[in-house]
Amino acid sequence: MDWCRNLLATRNMDIPVSQIRLIFNKTIGRRDIINLTAGIPDFDTPDHIKRAAKRAIEEGFTRYTHNAGYIETREAVAEKLRRDNGIGANPETEIMMVAGGMGGLLLANMVLVNPGDEVIVPDPGFVSHPAHAAIAGAKSVPVRLRKENNFGLLARDVEAAVTRKTKLLILNSPNNPTGGITSDRETRKIVDLALQHDFYIVSDEAYEQFYYTDHKPLLPGSIEEARDHVVSIFSLSKTYAMTGWRIGAVVGPADIIRAMVKLQEHFIAMPTSISQKAAEAALTGPQDCVEMMRRSFRERRSLIVEGLQKIEGMEVAAPSGAFYVFPDVSAYGMRSYDLVMKMLNEIGVATVHGSAFGAGGEGFIRICYAVSKRRILRALKLMSDYLPQLLR
C-alpha cells in the first residue's frame, strides 16, 4: 500500500487517529462485552421529534435549504437561546445550522485559524479538538484540567498557555471526558483574558443540559461584553438523544457566521433538511424529555460513583456534569491503556484509557454511564472482583 501512502496529502499525517475508536472497534459484534466506551445516550429520540421528521418528509421538506439552514429552524434556535441562555441573537445573521457539534467545531477552526496559529485545548479533552486545529494547520496547546479542581478549567492555567500566537481557546464545560464543569467565576476570568489578549473562545456546549450542580453553569456566550469574542457551538446529539441525526447550531458574531456559512456551502451545503425540521420540533416542543434524561443520568452517576468508590485502588469524586466518570487508576501501577486492555480481555468491560484524551489523562480511565443500571451494576461487580488483585 506504499503507493497509496505516497498519494495521500501530507496534511493527513498530522491528524491523530481517535484512540476511542481504537477501543470501540474492538467491541463491535462482541455481545459478551459491557461497552462503556462511546458517548451515546441509551435513550431513543423522543416521539414528538420523530413525528416531526416524518411529517417533514411527507410535506416535502426534502430539498436543499439555505446554507445556514431554514430560517424557521434558526428562529427556533434563537428562541432556545433566549429561553435557556439569556442570549439575544439575530437568526438571520448570527445563527447557522450545522452537522452536529462536530460540523460547527471544524468550520470555526477553518474560518478563524491561520496555519501557525495556536489553539488552546483542554487536556484531558475531546479527541476532535486537537484534530480540528491540526486540520486547520494550527498547533494545539494543551491546558490542564486538574483532578484537585474536579476538572474545572482555571483561568491561571489558561493565562500561562497564552502566547502572541494564541488565536483560539476551546472551552468545553461540562467536559468530555472528565464531566468537569468550569465555575462561573473562572469562566468570567477566562472571558476577561480573551478580551485582554484578543483571542476567540469557541465554546463547545455538547453537554450543556447535563449538569448536576445547584444552578445552570454560566455559558461564555451569555456574557454580553464578550459577544464579539465568543462562538458557541450547540448540538442536539446528546440533549435530545439524536446522535445519528447530525444536527447542531452555531451562534456567534455575524462576520464569523457569514464566513462559516460560505465554507459550509462547499462542504456539505447544509445539514439534512429533515434533521433541521426535527431540531425545530425539539427546541420549541416540550422540554420534559431533557429533564427526564438529566434525572436519569444523575441517578446513574450516583450508582456508578458509589460503586467505584468501594473498589480498592479506585479514586473518584462525583463529576459535576456530562455522563462520564474519570477515576484515577494510577494505584494499579500500569499505563491506563494497559489497564483498559486487561479489563477488556479478562473481564469483558470496555472503557477508554485516559491518555486517549491527552497527556493529562494518563493515570485515569473514562467510563461512560449512559447505559442501563443493570449494565452498570454488572460492570461494577466484574471490576470489584478483578481490580483489587492487581494491587497485590
Ligand X SMILES: Cc1ncc(COP(=O)(O)O)c(C=O)c1O
Give the three-state DSSP class for 90: coil
- Nearest-10 crossing angle of helices 71-80, 273-284: 30
204 touching ligand X, by CB under 6 A = yes
C-alpha span between 253 and 284 (Å, rounded): 24
321 beta partners: 211
Residue count of the chain: 392
* Grid coordinates belonging to 18: 481517535
Residue 140 C-beta: closest distance to ligand X, Å:
15
Question: 35 Cβ partners below 8 Å, 6+ apart?
Answer: 24, 27, 350, 371
C-alpha span between 159 and 156 (Å, rounded): 5
Residue nearest to ligand X (CB): 100
Residue 128 C-beta: closest distance to ligand X, Å:
7
Residue 126 C-beta: closest distance to ligand X, Å:
4
Residue 102 C-beta: closest distance to ligand X, Å:
3
Beta carbon nearer to ligand X, 61 or 126: 126
Beta carbon nearer to ligand X, 324 or 332: 324
Is residue 241 within 8 A of residue 46, CB to CB? The reply is yes
Work out the burial of residue 49: count CB atoms within 10 Å of its CB; fewer than 13 is exposed, 13-18 middle, 19 or more buried: buried
Residues that contact ligand X, how many (by CB under 6 A): 13
248 touching ligand X, by CB under 6 A = yes
101 touching ligand X, by CB under 6 A = yes
C-alpha span between 327 and 365 (Å, rounded): 6
Beta carbon nearer to ligand X, 27 or 172: 172
Residue from 243, 287, 330, 384 in contact with ligand X (CB under 6 A): 243
Beta carbon nearer to ligand X, 132 or 383: 132
Q: Contact letters (x/-) for ligand X, 1-40, by CB under 6 A?
A: --------------------------------------x-
C-alpha span between 156 and 174 (Å, rounded): 19
Q: Which of 209, 219, 261, 266 is nearest to 240 (CA)?
A: 209
Residue from 53, 102, 339, 379 in contact with ligand X (CB under 6 A): 102
Beta carbon nearer to ligand X, 67 or 175: 175
368 beta partners: 324
Is residue 133 within 8 A of residue 161, CB to CB? The reply is no
Which listed range, 64-72, 99-107, 310-318, 361-369, lies at the site for ligand X (CB under 6 A)?
99-107
What's at 245, amino acid-wise? W
Beta carbon nearer to ligand X, 101 or 363: 101
Residue 123 C-beta: closest distance to ligand X, Å:
13
Which listed range, 50-58, 98-106, 252-260, 265-273, lies at the site for ligand X (CB under 6 A)?
98-106
Residue from 70, 126, 211, 357 in contact with ligand X (CB under 6 A): 126
Residue 342 C-beta: closest distance to ligand X, Å:
25
Is residue 269 within 8 A of residue 137, CB to CB? The reply is no
176 touching ligand X, by CB under 6 A = yes
C-alpha span between 104 and 219 (Å, rounded): 17
Beta carbon nearer to ligand X, 219 or 311: 219
Beta carbon nearer to ligand X, 260 or 314: 260
Residue 52 C-beta: closest distance to ligand X, Å:
19
Which listed range, 26-34, 100-108, 113-121, 274-282, lies at the site for ligand X (CB under 6 A)?
100-108
Residue 131 C-beta: closest distance to ligand X, Å:
11
Is residue 256 within 8 A of residue 111, CB to CB? The reply is yes
User: What's the angle, vertex CA 218, arms to CA 212 and CA 224, rounded to 5?
Assistant: 165
Q: Are strands 166-171 and 118-123 parallel, antiparallel or unpaired?
A: parallel
Beta carbon nearer to ligand X, 144 or 314: 144
Quickly count: other Cβ atoms within 10 Å of residue 38's Cβ: 16
100 touching ligand X, by CB under 6 A = yes
What's at 74, amino acid-wise? R
C-alpha span between 316 and 305 (Å, rounded): 7
172 touching ligand X, by CB under 6 A = yes
235 touching ligand X, by CB under 6 A = yes
Q: Which residues in this chain contact ligand X in the complex, by CB under 6 A?
A: 39, 100-102, 126, 172, 176, 204, 206, 235, 237, 243, 248
